[in-house]
């Protein structure tokens, strides 16, 4: 078995395990498998993820390898990962309970509109990965890394986080839960703290990043922050 095949199998295995865990967190509290919103979310999350993994293994296996690494070295980032995990677990459980108990009445147009917003965020995410070959899941600076200033990086300094923000805020509405939406809103201050800490590192260790920041003001959302 060659290295590319092993890498693809690792990515697919992680994706499958993630799908099973997410399904368990949602369907178990819902008390049924007849939860349309949950199946819709799993589909729009893991089908594009599988396609993206296959494309990366063909065109940029090094990028896929970076995306599979998840061990953070910085204390702030470790805290961000843990808090994000708590938010997702709690949000999915609340969504399942919401479906079982009928707490929310989310219109179908909101559900499907949120699914489209999620896919739009996913498309932005894919474009960011195409533009930035240095993109990693962990906060670090690699040897010979360069500042990317074109494309989406010419609009905001952290377009990957903009994409994930859209995706994560759409998730609970795809699941049809107003209460889970409140839980997922807590992701916003967490991602802000991640960006602030990441920029501390980049300003010190990545050549040209200070000049980039002075040229491009907006971090996450144009004309807001």
110-145: per-residue pLDDT in tens? 999 999 999 999 999 888 888 887 666 555 566 667
Does residue 179 sit within a domain?
yes
**Triad 74, 167, 160: Cα angle to 5°:** 45
Residue 151, domain extent:
3-215
Number of domains in the chain: 1
The mean pLDDT of 148-169, rounded to a whole number, is: 91
Q: Are 56 and 129 in contact (CB under 8 A)?
A: yes
The CA distance from 139 to 73, in Å, is 8
The confidence band for 185, taking pLDDT boundaries of 50, 70 and 90, is very high
Cα–Cα dist 97/26, whole Å: 8
Q: Show the tokens assigned to 206.
A: 């990545």
At how many degrees (to 10) do helices 159-174 and 108-131 cross?
160
Task: Identify whether 142 is part of a domain.
Answer: yes
Residue 116 domain flag: yes
The verdict on residue 221 lying in a domain is: no
Place of tokens 């807001």: 224
Taking the CA atoms of 207, 208, 209 and 211 in sequence, report the sign of the dihedral they define. positive
pLDDT at 196 over 60: yes
Does residue 146 lie within any of the structural domains?
yes
CATH number of the domain that residue 77 is part of: 1.20.120.1630
Whether 162 is covered by a domain: the verdict is yes
Q: Is residue 222 domain-resident?
A: no
Segments of 42-189 assigned E as strands:
none
Residue 69 lies in a domain: yes
């Amino acid at each position: 078995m060659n290295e590319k095949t092993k890498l693809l199998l690792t990515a697919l295995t992680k994706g499958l395990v993630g799908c099973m865990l997410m399904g368990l967190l949602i369907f178990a509290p819902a008390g049924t498998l007849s939860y349309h919103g949950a199946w819709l979310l799993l589909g729009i999350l893991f089908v594009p993820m599988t396609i993206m993994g296959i494309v990366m293994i063909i065109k940029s296996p090094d990028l896929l390898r970076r995306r599979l690494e998840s061990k953070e070295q910085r204390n702030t980032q470790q805290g961000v990962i843990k808090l994000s995990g708590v938010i997702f677990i709690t949000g999915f459980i609340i969504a399942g309970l919401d479906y079982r108990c009928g707490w929310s009445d989310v219109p179908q147009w909101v559900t499907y509109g949120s699914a489209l917003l999620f896919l739009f965020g996913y498309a932005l995410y894919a474009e960011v990965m195409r533009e930035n070959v240095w993109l990693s899941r962990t906060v670090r600076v690699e040897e010979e890394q360069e500042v990317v200033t074109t494309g989406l990086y010419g609009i905001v300094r952290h377009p990957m986080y903009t994409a994930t923000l859209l995706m994560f805020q759409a998730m609970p509405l795809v699941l049809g839960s107003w209460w889970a939406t409140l839980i997922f809103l807590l992701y916003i201050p967490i991602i802000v703290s991640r960006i602030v800490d990441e920029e501390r590192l980049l300003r010190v260790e990545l050549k040209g990043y200070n000049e980039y920041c002075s040229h491009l003001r907006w971090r996450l959302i144009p004309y807001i922050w």
